[in-house]
């Protein structure tokens, strides 16, 4: 308890799944939490149950102006944030042969443009903080190995991985008190992963295999790592990429 005492966090896509679990874990460790989601009812319900000072705000992460409003509302309510978790997302199935340009752009607007806007807003707001601050970007194992049934999703998550490193290096070069790291889950039991399993009718993914054998991870498996990366315990860690996948990427010799 208390690993995030005095910290103020913004978590996107916090109405369900990983975002909700991360918000709950942050609150349990003493953070004040702003939960954002395009589904304000879900975010409000989550905020009311996490047991810590928290507010819910409606947010479409592709809306550039809304990012400024989210950070302003956070500052007005709690103070300048120290933590941003870019978690909001969606899964659009489609291989390189059948994914339309329209769907490709829609996927990247949420998963990549949204993370860019979040990182930019966070750096601008947090660069003058007097204590260590942290940006955590939820990427995917798709960024490290690709998923053929999800070409747009894989591209977006790969972009998140690379952008995370660029943000981290910029903050280090500018001597800002901001770390930036990416997480790469696979097979975590969330509504999005269940959607992935249904949508990937043309191929097999690690998530589908895990569902078949009942070996899905729990959202807390990701949330626990987020607590560490948000806390000052990880003050010497930036530009990192951290799989949370129960060895999906491991290939025996």
Count of Cβ atoms closer than 10 Å to residue 124 Cβ: 12
Rounded-to-integer distance, Cα 8 and Cα 149, Å: 38
Round the average pLDDT of the chain to a whole number and report it: 92
> 213: pLDDT confidence band, cut at 50, 70 and 90?
very low
Q: Are 135 and 179 in contact (CB under 8 A)?
A: yes
DSSP-derived pairing of the beta strands 8-11 and 54-58: unpaired
Q: Per-residue pLDDT tens for 85-117? A: 999 999 999 999 999 999 999 999 999 999 999
Q: Can you give the residue ranges of every domain in the chain?
A: 8-244
Q: Are 128 and 101 in contact (CB under 8 A)?
A: no
Whether 251 has a pLDDT exceeding 80, the answer reads no
Distance linking the first and last C-alpha atoms of the chain: 41
Whether 247 has a pLDDT exceeding 50, the answer reads yes
pLDDT of residue 55: 99
Q: Where are the alpha helices (DSSP H) in 89-218?
A: 101-108, 114-126, 142-145, 151-173, 191-199, 206-213
Q: Are 12 and 88 in contact (CB under 8 A)?
A: yes
Element (H, E) at 218: none
Whether 215 has a pLDDT exceeding 90, the answer reads no
Rounded-to-integer distance, Cα 4 and Cα 21, Å: 15
Handedness of CA 89, 95, 96, 100 (dihedral sign): negative
CATH number of this structure's domain 8-244, picked from the four choices 3.30.530.20, 3.40.50.10420, 2.40.110.10, 3.40.50.720:
3.40.50.720
Q: Per-residue pLDDT tens for 114-145? A: 999 999 999 999 999 999 999 999 999 999 99
Whether 150 has a pLDDT exceeding 70, the answer reads yes
Rounded-to-integer distance, Cα 130 and Cα 49, Å: 30
Q: Which residues are identified as catalytic? A: 153
Tell me the β-bridge partners of 252.
none
């Amino acid at each position: 308890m208390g690993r995030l005492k005095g910290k103020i966090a913004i978590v996107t896509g916090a109405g369900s799944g990983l975002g909700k679990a991360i918000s709950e874990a942050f609150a349990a460790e003493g953070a004040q939490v702003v939960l954002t989601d395009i589904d304000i009812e879900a975010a409000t319900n989550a905020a009311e149950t996490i047991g810590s000072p928290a507010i819910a705000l409606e947010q479409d992460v592709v809306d550039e102006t809304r990012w400024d409003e989210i950070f302003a509302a956070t500052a007005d309510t709690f103070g300048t944030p120290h933590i941003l978790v870019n978690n909001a997302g969606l899964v659009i199935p489609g291989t390189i042969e059948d994914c339309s340009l329209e769907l490709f752009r829609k996927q990247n607007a949420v998963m990549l443009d949204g993370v860019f806007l979040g990182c930019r807003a966070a750096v601008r707001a947090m660069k003058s903080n007097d204590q260590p601050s942290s940006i955590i970007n939820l990427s995917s194992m798709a960024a490290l190995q690709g998923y053929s049934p999800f070409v747009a999703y894989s591209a977006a998550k790969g972009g998140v991985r690379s952008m995370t490193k660029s943000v981290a290096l910029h903050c280090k070069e500018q001597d800002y008190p901001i770390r930036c790291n990416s997480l790469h889950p696979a097979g975590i039991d969330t509504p999005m992963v269940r959607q992935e399993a249904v949508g990937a009718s043309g191929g097999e993914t690690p998530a589908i295999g895990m569902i078949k054998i009942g070996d899905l991870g729990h959202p807390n498996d990701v949330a626990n790592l987020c607590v560490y990366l948000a806390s000052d315990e990880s003050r010497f860690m930036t530009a990192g990429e951290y799989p949370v996948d129960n060895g999906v990427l491991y290939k025996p010799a």
